[in-house]
Amino acid sequence: MMKSLLTCTLACLLLFSGVAKAVTLNVMTSYPQPVVMVMQQAFEEAHPDIELNILWRRPHDALSVLLQEESENVDVIWMPSVRTFLSLKAHGKLAQFKQNRTGLPVLLGDTAISDPQGYFIATEIAGYGLFFEPEKLKQAGLAVPNQWQDLLAAEWQDNIALPIPSEVSFAHMLIDQLLQAEGWQTGWNQWQQIAANSHLMGRGGMFTTEAVLAGQAKVAFTMDFFAASSIANGANGKFIYPKQTAFNPAHVGILSAATQPEAANTFVDFIVSEQGQSLLLHPDLRKLPVRPSVYSQAPKMQNPFAGYIRHQYDYQTGLQRREYNAVVFDAAITLHHDKLKQAWQQWHQLQQNADADQQAALAEIKTVLQQWPVEEPAMDNDVLQDCAQRHDDVKKQQNCEAFKSELAQSFERQYDKALNMLAQLTTKS
């Protein structure tokens, strides 16, 4: 009798143990371990019957794997990569959510950050802005900029750290958000002038925020979480969002082929819940929640949903022309940065004490500097398509490089002409 009772007890314990971890949920993510650990620990404590099996993949690799007919056994994909989710949805790889979205805005400003049809939902956002040290800005006699256009002024010469989009991945959307907000030519003309005031930051060098801390610049273009990391590590810095900017959302989605759809929905519910969103305030994460009510727990954190920031951005357009924009940036700015800086610096110097005739001549020189020999491309433009695939196809890379070379020569002629006109005006003065 005792032996029978003991056997029954052991069987019940084993059965209970099996129920406690009855479900294994396969989650594919590109998030670093600190982010995953915080979320995983809290989720498994709240749902001890579900165990997370984390599959780490970079966004490009994740998309390649999940688009295969016989892909890995993945239930949930969770990462900051708009392109990945748009592609998965287009290929029918995502299931529609059953979540209650009360308290979760689909829009940020005028832009949808979650899929309106419910195939993927935003879990956090990261915004573009400016990092600076207030005291050093004050000592230099520089006012805090509250919009990108403030950085066109002559007093910002050599005081800005600007990332190169072909070398710094986060810079693609930074460049394009201004083009979308201001229009193609106006946006590029503003980037020309900002770049003339800037130190260009490329691959292998210091971060833009580090340039400010090292005294090489007074203000840096960056993303909020880079700035938060610098401040958390002791930097006496501050970060602001300009009135018009862009926010890059991270998303979570459930695969249409998920073997654990119920557990997957439970995980998504948790990530966007009040508890899950509050975890984003953790010192190791410092990310922006997509549930506005959570900002009451962090009164010092800027709330993008409060209505004081204008956000209007077409992610699909930005993704399609990101490589094209990078090529144009290099042709117009990176390859001729010295000439561009020299021309604008001389222009500003001459403008300070110019008489009426000189003002007219300077207006003509400005027109030469701001000529824009390349029109905004249609999404089916051959060169745009070649540049978009230049990293995967040798022939398309050659076509894209030929376009860049021709465009770079055009800008060089343009800057040389402006410099000659400035030299003549200087001689007359």
Per-residue model confidence as pLDDT tens digits over 327-350 = 999 999 999 999 999 999 999 999
Q: Would you state the structure tokens that stand for residue 278, as one six-digit string? A: 């509050």
Among 238, 273, 306, the domain-final residue is 306
Q: Whole-number mean pLDDT of the chain?
A: 91
Q: Would you state the structure tokens that stand for residue 162, as one six-digit string? A: 């600007």
Within a domain: 188: no
Within a domain: 377: yes
Verify that 253 and 277 share a domain, yes or no: yes
Within a domain: 83: yes
Structural element, H or E, at residue 409: helix 394-428
User: What is the DSSP secondary structure assignment for residue 386, as one 8-state letter?
Assistant: H
Among 283, 306, 329, the domain-final residue is 306
Which range marks the domain in which residue 367 is found?
A: 321-429
What SS3 state is found at 381? coil
Question: CA 62, 68, 70, 75 torsion: positive or negative?
Answer: positive
What SS3 state is found at 413? helix
Within a domain: 183: no
Verify that 259 and 114 share a domain, yes or no: yes
| Least reliable range by pLDDT among 179-193, 264-278, 304-318, 367-381 | 304-318
Verify that 366 and 420 share a domain, yes or no: yes
pLDDT at residue number 21: 56
Verify that 45 and 107 share a domain, yes or no: yes
| Least reliable range by pLDDT among 62-66, 127-131, 282-286, 324-328 | 282-286
Q: Would you state the structure tokens that stand for residue 281, as one six-digit string? A: 């305030």
Verify that 351 and 417 share a domain, yes or no: yes
First vs last Cα of the chain: how many Å apart? Answer: 113
Within a domain: 196: no
Q: What is the DSSP string of 3-60?
A: HHHHHHHHHHHHHHHHHHT-EEEEEEE---HHHHHHHHHHHHHH-TTEEEEEEE--HH
Within a domain: 199: no
Verify that 291 and 385 share a domain, yes or no: no
pLDDT at residue number 328: 98
| Least reliable range by pLDDT among 85-89, 177-181, 228-232 | 228-232
Nearest to 271 by CA among 297, 259, 253: 253
Verify that 335 and 297 share a domain, yes or no: no
Number of domains present in the structure of the chain? 2
Verify that 284 and 335 share a domain, yes or no: no
Residue given tokens 């989009």 in the structure block: 165
96 φ/ψ angles, rounded to the nearest 5 degrees: -75, 145
Q: Is the pTM of this model over 0.85?
A: yes
Q: Would you state the structure tokens that stand for residue 40, as one six-digit string? A: 């995983």
Within a domain: 176: no
Verify that 364 and 427 share a domain, yes or no: yes
Inform me whether the pLDDT recorded for 35 exceeds 50: yes
Q: How many CB atoms lie within 10 A of CB 13?
A: 10
The CATH number of whichever domain residue 106 belongs to comes to: 3.40.190.10
pLDDT-based confidence at residue 6 (cuts at 50, 70, 90)? very low
Within a domain: 120: yes
Verify that 294 and 331 share a domain, yes or no: no
The alpha carbons of the chain give a radius of gyration, in whole angstroms, of 26
What SS3 state is found at 297? helix
CB 357 within 8 A of CB 406: no
Verify that 265 and 414 share a domain, yes or no: no
How far apart CA 384 and CA 324 sit, in angstroms, is 5
| Least reliable range by pLDDT among 72-81, 184-193, 402-411 | 72-81
Q: How many CB atoms lie within 10 A of CB 55?
A: 17
Verify that 300 and 330 share a domain, yes or no: no
Question: CA 309, 315, 319, 320 torsion: positive or negative?
Answer: negative
Region 122-130: what's the mean pLDDT?
A: 96
